[in-house]
Structure 1
Amino acid sequence: MTRTVSKDGTLSRRQFVAGASVFALSMMTGCAPTAASPSEARMTPGTYSASANGLFGPYTIEVDVSEDAILDVRVVDTHESQYLGQRAQSTIAENVVKHQSLEVDSITGATMTTSTMKDAIRDALTQAGASKKMFDEDATTPAPANVAGDIEDFNPDIIVVGAGITGLTAALTAADRGAKVLILDHNKHFGGSTMYSGGYCAAAGGDTLPSYGYETDPDEFFAWFMDGDETTFRPELSYVAAYNSGPALDMLTKYGAKWIEGGPIGEDVGAHANAASTENATKDVDYFAAYVISHEQRGLSIFEDTAPSIQEFVEKGQMAYLLNTKATELIVNAEGQVTGVRVENGAEYEAPATILSCGGYCANDEMLSKLYARWARSGSASSIGNMFDAAVKVGAVLHDMDFCRTDGGTLPVLEGNGQAVMREIKYKTPGLVWLNTDGVRFWKEGSKVDRAYFDTERNTVYCVANKALLESDDLLYYGNYATYVTDSGNEELERLAEEGKVVFKGDTVEEAAEKAGLDPKVVAEQIERYNGFCKAGVDEDFGKEADALIALEEGPFYIFETIPNIKNTYGGLVIDDGARVLDAQNRPIVGLYAAGETAGNYNIVRPTASYYGGNLHRGCTFGYTAAMSAAKDFGL
């Protein structure tokens, strides 16, 4: 292996050691809580409140104190996301009380929430009379001092590029087979986009699902995948997705992943459109697959749970990982075989097999700008598409790179492309009317959303509603839908309407249209025509279902300017059923494998097969498959 050398010519271990800090996540052990020193100034006992601006809006906390101790910290009002932001708030609050210190571990992936929570708690303590030195004892968890083995002496059998769910499963599977594994990731922590998810993972077969009472059938799972237009997906990959899913889930379970019961997946259950996990916990339905949920209902805990196993492999000298290390090129020998990876600082790492599991390109503005005029992003900022060009240079082929998996309804409250989704409307709400930039209805609302936003001019859709529709449902989210935090009183919606930049309100539809910069006459004619379809019960233009034909007759009217937000990328490297990367002649490129979004997750099953736990299912299943193939191909 080529050495990583620092400026003074000696081996640099900084990046290597930095990787160990991922395993300190949420392991906040430390001394038992003690009261402040008697020499410190006393506080006035009571309850104190403070406010802070979080990622998606302001929130308020309350802190109970005695003369010399923090008794409780509560979040009383918040707009932060349920999966990550609110959990971070709760964790910080719990550990400040536990350790009687504000110097507690930050939460990976929730840096802003961590910082603002500490500031708000400090504000409340200051109100109580605490001095600056009170509650400042360091209670952070130190990263492990080192990892076993020296990187210059570590000669891996397999290099895994990317440390999300796909890379994690690949690494554990390869190590389980006895291979020596080097993991590279450009982030400073493990997790990739999975750490922001709810931790749902689907499968069929294997040993894990039966332990939760699910008797599944990979044959039927495969048949369900195949029930569609085969020109839109790869049947041989659907087969792998069905039959390797159980063993892949078992691999994560074997090395520490903890789950709770999720629900079944069948013809009428388990699909996003008609299922809720808590309601599908019973088995009294016909199903062929099932999903489980990470025990803390967040993707990050999968990495926390498996961290001890990773560390054990490291200490045994069978695994190493380099974080803050961006792979940029593939190394090829004279026979055209991939023999390793070159990283951004020029260092080279060699191995017989390289698995690319480094995500898609939803955070690569250069690539996206070739496809979209306007977009926001709710996908992972770590999906930078850094290895697509590298793979193409060694002969790989890309597929389905023409557009991305998107949600609609994003209000562009922040200027510029690629911004985080700060506000989103329920753009599939029955009764909403979609207009293009000409003010003309152009689509069956709620259908094929990614294509609707991709095809329309400037990727902009104007959604029309009225007061009655707003009163029938909470239409606005803080952040995107995955935060599960809505503007229940429409206060934020009305504020945005008063601001008049992305939400436009008028007593008449013409007035709202004029404020939105649309032709008032054209918009009024479109709404009148649509209302006629509602009365007749038949949408003659686009075939919208009768129960979704809700007339917009009485004002006030609201027009929302919306753009797409990029969640995942459809396209990627062409692979075979063993996750081997193929060239233009459909021949495997020896030594190169790809899985997860890097291999175009969404060509694996028919596009209409939407089901709970699908992303993690496809990621871990093909990470497992790639590692098994590499081990077989090289006799590991």
Structure 2
Amino acid sequence: MDTDNKILETGPREPVDRALFKGAVNDPENVKSKVRYDWEIPPAPISEEQIAEEMEADVVVIGGGIAGLAAGARCTELGMSVIVVDKHKSLVAHGAHIACLDSPVMRELGIKIDKQEFARRWMHTSGSRVNEDLLWLYINKSEEAVLWLLGLGGDEVELKLYGGYYKGTQFTEYPATHYFQKKKGSRYKTYGAFLFCEILQEVILNGGNQIIRNTKAEQLEMKDGRVTSFIAKSEDGKYIRFKGKKAVVLATGDIGGDPEMLAKYCPIGLRPKKNGYFPAGLNTGDGHKMAFWLGAAMEDPSWAVSLHLISYAMYSFFFLHVNRLGKRFMNEDTWSQAKAIRILMQPQWGDGDWAFSVFDSKWFEEVGERVHLAGGQFTQPLITEYGQPWDENNGVREAIDAYIKKGACHVADTLEELAEKMEVPVDTFVETVKRYNELVKQGVDLDYGKRSELLTSIEKPPYYALKFGPAILNVFGGVLTDIDMRVLDKNHNPIPGLYAVGNVAGGLYGVDYPLLLNGNSHSRALVWARQAAAHISGEEQGG
């Protein structure tokens, strides 16, 4: 009997309620309630005497990127008056891709994605830190949103399927990334994501609505428990109140340009030395802060970060990667986000945040022979149409030559000379290459497990060392919303009158930006904007 009691004593115990720690040093609320950063302290209200002008519309949108312009365009289509206010002087965009899980182009090519499997992979990549209602909203509405934008462009643009997706075995990217191509004689002036924004902007302006730039929103305002307006400062320092009869929509982008917000919500975002956002430093979490001061619920950290290998060179390929100590440090057969993270984990000194891709004179042919096995961004050109063959006209040779001229790619006739140019320990580097060539000869990567098909020797001079590294692009996390994009308070109740779309809204990402589907953030912005507009329109009709 005593033995039985001892066994029971070692079994699972009833968890202790944390309320028992209330007031003690280990009370979790002690940490939650501490003000740690300057931005967390709400500013003093802007006095009525300071307001120089008032403007009013059914819907007022803070932010003129793809999400804000999409919200404005859709509300315009639904017959509402709209004012979009943005702090920048012109269009704000970056990138070229837009994703959807199905499209006429995909159906024509016989490409079909298992949506259930896609959802499982998304959840896995995001560490299960995802609101599945929002995930399935995106899955089910992404095609509709992209085709809506395409339709707004009319006969001026056409939809193309991107072919440069990573084709790994354990981790793969889906062939569902698209881009818009302008037709000959198109009236549109821009390309890529700027083209998306140009199309949306045209809908707003042609619909008789307004876009006001060089005007920065500073505070949200509530009346009788509802968000009714916001106050912004114009280019000449004048305060303007923008009143939304039906809604105020936050579309202010992410936090990647605010070091304090990164420290709180995404510390790894402080590691890269380069910022790939355009315009650099504009994404300072303005909407996050205004919602936070109002009592909105924020997504738990650590937020997902998008790190693109666009520093120094736009290519890395699948060749031998060595760090600044001249040592191999990873399986090169992986997606770009993983490469970025692994580089940031390496020993560095000074201002370094790069690695080298090492190859020999056979490189162009070796990539071409294996692009169907690997591929992916930073192996193929950014605009590579699905099915487009690897050939001498793709511009990659010219790109490498340009990197050589600007010092981002070193070339030498011996490994020793190459190591000196790379400024890595010569003996270590030569030994690293020797070991790698041994693995190539064996046909098995015993050190890091790279697929044998991607093992290529480094033996025919000249030898190359291409410098590449990560830049922070975006941070994905923000205020919590319901499925209609209404911002939630700390009790998860909607804050009347306030919506959030695009990167200011949380719930869809976690841990890592899921490059399962390149360009997903652009189409997510469209889906969220359309969803918010539909709900606002319903409210207008008493729904």
Same-fold call, TM > 0.5? yes
Query: Distance between the aligned counterparts of 1:217 and 1:433, measured in 2?
Result: 32
- C-alpha spacing 1:171/1:228, structure 2 compared with 1 (3 Å): closer
What is the match of residue 75 of structure 2? 174
What is the match of residue 339 of structure 2? 449
* 1:331 and 2:331 matched: no
What is the match of residue 449 of structure 2? 543
CA RMSD of the aligned region, Å? 4.3
What is the match of residue 292 of structure 2? 392
> Deviation of residue 398 (structure 1)?
3.5
Identity of aligned residues (%): 21
Is residue 306–residue 512 contact of structure 2 (8 Å, CA) maintained in 1?
A: no
Deviations 1:218-261 (A, max 9, x none): 99546633455451533211211133334434654565555655
Is residue 399–residue 600 contact of structure 1 (8 Å, CA) maintained in 2?
A: no
Q: Pick from 353, 360, 377: which aligns with 2:254?
A: 360
Query: Distance between the aligned counterparts of 2:138 and 2:519, measured in 1?
Result: 13
What is the match of residue 185 of structure 1? 86
* Other structure's SS at 2:278 match: coil
What is the match of residue 235 of structure 1? 132
What is the match of residue 534 of structure 1? 440
**What residue identity is the alignment partner of 2:273?**
W
What is the match of residue 278 of structure 2? 380
- C-alpha spacing 1:408/1:299, structure 2 compared with 1 (3 Å): closer
* Other structure's SS at 1:192 match: coil
- C-alpha spacing 1:255/1:525, structure 2 compared with 1 (3 Å): closer
Deviations 1:482-540 (A, max 9, x none): 4875452854344345xxxx544444434433443322232223222222221122212
Is residue 164–residue 192 contact of structure 1 (8 Å, CA) maintained in 2?
A: yes
Q: 1:221-232 residue pairs with structure 2 within 5 A? A: 221=115, 224-230=118-124, 231-232=128-129
What is the match of residue 525 of structure 2? 619
* 1:461 and 2:348 matched: no
Q: Pick from 141, 165, 175: which aligns with 1:272?
A: 165
Is residue 226–residue 235 contact of structure 1 (8 Å, CA) maintained in 2?
A: no
* 1:342 and 2:231 matched: yes
> Deviation of residue 408 (structure 1)?
2.0
Is residue 176–residue 517 contact of structure 2 (8 Å, CA) maintained in 1?
A: no
Is residue 181–residue 320 contact of structure 1 (8 Å, CA) maintained in 2?
A: yes
* Other structure's SS at 1:244 match: helix
What is the match of residue 439 of structure 1? 326
* 1:262 and 2:140 matched: no
Q: 1:406-421 residue pairs with structure 2 within 5 A? A: 406-408=307-309, 410-411=311-312
* 1:426 and 2:318 matched: no
Query: Distance between the aligned counterparts of 2:228 and 2:434, measured in 1?
Result: 65
Query: Distance between the aligned counterparts of 1:601 and 1:482, measured in 2?
Result: 28
* 1:405 and 2:306 matched: yes
- C-alpha spacing 1:241/1:455, structure 2 compared with 1 (3 Å): same
User: Bigger shift: 388-397 or 224-233?
Assistant: 224-233
Deviations 1:575-613 (A, max 9, x none): 332222234443333332222222259629996563465
**What residue identity is the alignment partner of 2:277?**
G
What is the match of residue 595 of structure 1? 501
Query: Distance between the aligned counterparts of 2:148 and 2:181, measured in 1?
Result: 14
**What residue identity is the alignment partner of 1:349?**
F
- C-alpha spacing 1:444/1:183, structure 2 compared with 1 (3 Å): same
Query: Distance between the aligned counterparts of 1:463 and 1:398, measured in 2?
Result: 37
Unaligned runs of 5+ in 2: 1-45, 168-173, 184-190, 369-374, 384-393
**What residue identity is the alignment partner of 1:332?**
M
**What residue identity is the alignment partner of 2:402?**
E
What is the match of residue 16 of structure 2? none
* 1:197 and 2:96 matched: yes
* Other structure's SS at 2:532 match: helix
- C-alpha spacing 1:288/1:270, structure 2 compared with 1 (3 Å): closer
> Deviation of residue 624 (structure 1)?
0.7
Query: Distance between the aligned counterparts of 2:321 and 2:492, measured in 1?
Result: 42
- C-alpha spacing 1:227/1:491, structure 2 compared with 1 (3 Å): closer
Unaligned runs of 5+ in 1: 12-151, 275-286, 412-423
- C-alpha spacing 1:183/1:343, structure 2 compared with 1 (3 Å): same
What is the match of residue 18 of structure 2? none
**What residue identity is the alignment partner of 1:438?**
L
Is residue 257–residue 302 contact of structure 1 (8 Å, CA) maintained in 2?
A: no
> May I ask how many residue pairs the two structures share in their alignment?
445
Deviations 1:61-110 (A, max 9, x none): xxxxxxxxxxxxxxxxxxxxxxxxxxxxxxxxxxxxxxxxxxxxxxxxxx
Q: 1:53-92 residue pairs with structure 2 within 5 A? A: none
Q: Pick from 482, 488, 492: which aligns with 2:402?
A: 492
**What residue identity is the alignment partner of 1:492?**
A
What is the match of residue 581 of structure 1? 487
* 1:244 and 2:141 matched: yes
What is the match of residue 210 of structure 2? 320
- C-alpha spacing 1:626/1:514, structure 2 compared with 1 (3 Å): same
What is the match of residue 30 of structure 2? none
Specify which structure has the bigger relative contact order, considering alpha-carbon pairs within 8 angstroms and separated by 6 or more residues.
2
Is residue 404–residue 410 contact of structure 2 (8 Å, CA) maintained in 1?
A: no
Is residue 460–residue 561 contact of structure 1 (8 Å, CA) maintained in 2?
A: yes
Query: Distance between the aligned counterparts of 1:437 and 1:368, measured in 2?
Result: 26
- C-alpha spacing 1:347/1:219, structure 2 compared with 1 (3 Å): same
Query: Distance between the aligned counterparts of 1:456 and 1:547, measured in 2?
Result: 26
> Deviation of residue 356 (structure 1)?
1.5
Is residue 179–residue 192 contact of structure 2 (8 Å, CA) maintained in 1?
A: no
> Deviation of residue 443 (structure 1)?
1.4
Query: Distance between the aligned counterparts of 1:630 and 1:604, measured in 2?
Result: 28
Is residue 435–residue 461 contact of structure 1 (8 Å, CA) maintained in 2?
A: yes
> Deviation of residue 4 (structure 1)?
11
